[in-house]
Amino acid sequence: MTVLITGATGFVGTALVDRIVREGRWKVRAAARHGMGTLPPGVERVQCEVGPSTAWERALDGVQVVIHLAARVHVMRERARDALAQFRRVNVAGTLNLAGQAATAGVHRFLYLSSAKVNGESGLYGEADAPAPQDAYAVSKHEAEVGLCQIGATTRMEVVIIRPPLVYGHGARANFGALMRAVARGVPLPLGAVDNRRSLVGLDNLVDFIVTCATHPDAANETFLVSDGEDLSTPDLIRRLGRAMGRPVRLPPVPPALLLQAATWVGRRDVAKRLIGSLQLDITKAKRQLGWSPPVSVDEGLRRAVAPR
């Protein structure tokens, strides 16, 4: 089987390509922008940038499965005047352009890495819950999902949608990377009074789930939430991260309301809300329908995340 992976040199893509190459079951064709990252020997590289007019014919030739990871990701400090338009150009128009050409080329299955942010920013969610995207990134991901489902309903190509929460692992950036750096430096984190629950997914668990969904017959035309299956409070995550790093942690117990107020003053309210709020994913569907369970524990996932390479 030949699989085309977009975003193949990114955080998730690199780990996915390495896993597939290591197992040797599939032939990998990797789509990546010019000059972005390196690939293992034996992986065919095609230069493609996801956009509304990209021509994918050569990249799709002989491909049975597309795993679409490439996206304009959530931007912590957005500078675009019309952020939604920028997200839509890549995440909606670019995705649907690729999917339409994939269906025409006879691709059997199109797997799309979406985001739990499609469900919302706080609460306990299952696949049956109505989407409630709240920022431009999440809106674009949801719109892409809707378009993909329409393509799946009107062609012979199967569509699989995966919505992960925050992904952690070696090389993680954004919020988890900042948290790792703070713990490594021994910075006091005033989160000791936070009592929340958040679902996370380790990189190896996400990759394992993607591989499962690429071929499992019961994944066809379905949407799945995925996580480690163990929800953590923010203080618990920091303590376990500290143990994995062999570093002591300091968690002064500042009231969450005060943290939120202070974060609002400095323009970081959204970051604070994620640190003190709850977001939990019910992965019962993935377990029952696909027989999948996370192969790597949270503590082992954190150990792998901080291990030197």
Cβ neighbours for 246, distance < 8 A, ≥ 6 positions apart: none
What number is the average pLDDT over the span 79-106?
92
- The per-residue pLDDT for range 137-183, each reduced to its tens digit, is 999 999 999 999 999 999 999 999 999 999 999 988 888 999 999 99
What number is the average pLDDT over the span 71-79?
68
Q: What is the pTM of this model?
A: 0.95
Cβ neighbours for 254, distance < 8 A, ≥ 6 positions apart: 190, 191, 192, 193
Pairing between strand 44-47 and 27-32?
parallel
Q: Name residue 263's amino acid.
A: A
Q: Which residues pair with 167 in a beta bridge?
A: 201
Q: Is residue 268 part of a domain?
A: yes
How many domains, in total, are found in the chain? 2
Question: Is the pLDDT confidence value at 220 over 70?
Answer: yes
| Predicted local confidence at residue 35, as pLDDT | 63
- Most confident range (mean pLDDT) of 27-41, 107-121, 269-283 is 107-121
Q: Is residue 112 part of a domain?
A: yes
Catalytic residue among 112, 125, 137, 168: 137
Do 136 and 181 lie in a common domain?
A: no
Q: Which H, E and C letters describe 109-140, residue by residue?
A: EEEEECCHHHCCCCEEECCCCCCCCCCHHHHH
Mean pLDDT rounded to a whole number for the chain: 94
Do 9 and 156 lie in a common domain?
A: yes
Tokens 């030739």 appear where? 61
Rounded Cα distance between 115 and 72, Å, is 12
Do 192 and 46 lie in a common domain?
A: no
Pairing between strand 109-113 and 44-47?
unpaired
Least confident of 1-15, 38-52, 75-89, 243-257: 75-89
| Predicted local confidence at residue 82, as pLDDT | 81
- 222: confidence class by pLDDT, cuts 50, 70, 90: very high
Helix (H) or strand (E) holding 224: strand 222-225
**Residue 137 catalytic?**
yes
What number of residues does the chain have? 309
Do 52 and 189 lie in a common domain?
A: no
Do 65 and 180 lie in a common domain?
A: no
Question: Is the pLDDT confidence value at 34 over 70?
Answer: no
